[in-house]
């Protein structure tokens, strides 16, 4: 079920509940979009750090892979998670 439907079931079906549902959904979507933007910014910074490490004259070490590159993987997974949540529960039909 979509978030609006779930809230509609749990609240009264008068006009106030419709306004509350719309406002809650707006706030939720704003939060989700802001979080995705912030994570995308973090991902860009992490990718720049990987490129910086790879372009240095020193050899690649475990921290490059296990910390810096792993951070890019984790951030991309979070972005995908938030986008999937947004599509599943807030998709407009």
Which pLDDT tens digit goes with each residue over 60-92?
999 999 999 999 999 999 999 999 999 999 876
Based on the structure, what is the number of domains in the chain?
1
pLDDT confidence of residue 15: 64
Q: How far apart are alpha carbons 14 and 72 in whole angstroms?
A: 46
Residue 85's alpha-carbon distances to 8, 22, 30, 81, in angstroms, are 19, 18, 13, 6
pLDDT higher than 90, residue 10:
no
With cut-offs at 50, 70 and 90, classify the pLDDT of residue 93: very low
pLDDT higher than 80, residue 59:
yes
Q: How far apart are alpha carbons 17 and 39 in whole angstroms?
A: 33
Mean pLDDT score across all residues of the chain: 88
Question: What average pLDDT does the segment 13-33 reach?
Answer: 83
pLDDT confidence of residue 76: 98
Q: How far apart are alpha carbons 30 and 50 in whole angstroms?
A: 30
pLDDT confidence of residue 30: 96
Full residue range of the structural domain in which residue 8 is found:
3-90
Q: How far apart are alpha carbons 61 and 69 in whole angstroms?
A: 11
């Amino acid at each position: 079920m979509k978030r609006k439907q779930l809230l509609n079931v749990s609240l009264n079906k008068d006009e106030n509940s419709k306004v509350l549902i719309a406002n809650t959904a707006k706030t939720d979507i704003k939060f989700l979009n802001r979080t995705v933007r912030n994570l995308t910014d973090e991902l860009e910074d992490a990718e720049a750090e990987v490129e910086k490490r790879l372009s240095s004259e020193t050899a690649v070490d475990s921290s490059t892979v296990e910390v810096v590159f792993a951070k890019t993987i984790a951030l991309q997974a979070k972005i995908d998670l938030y986008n999937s949540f947004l599509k599943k529960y807030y998709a407009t039909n």
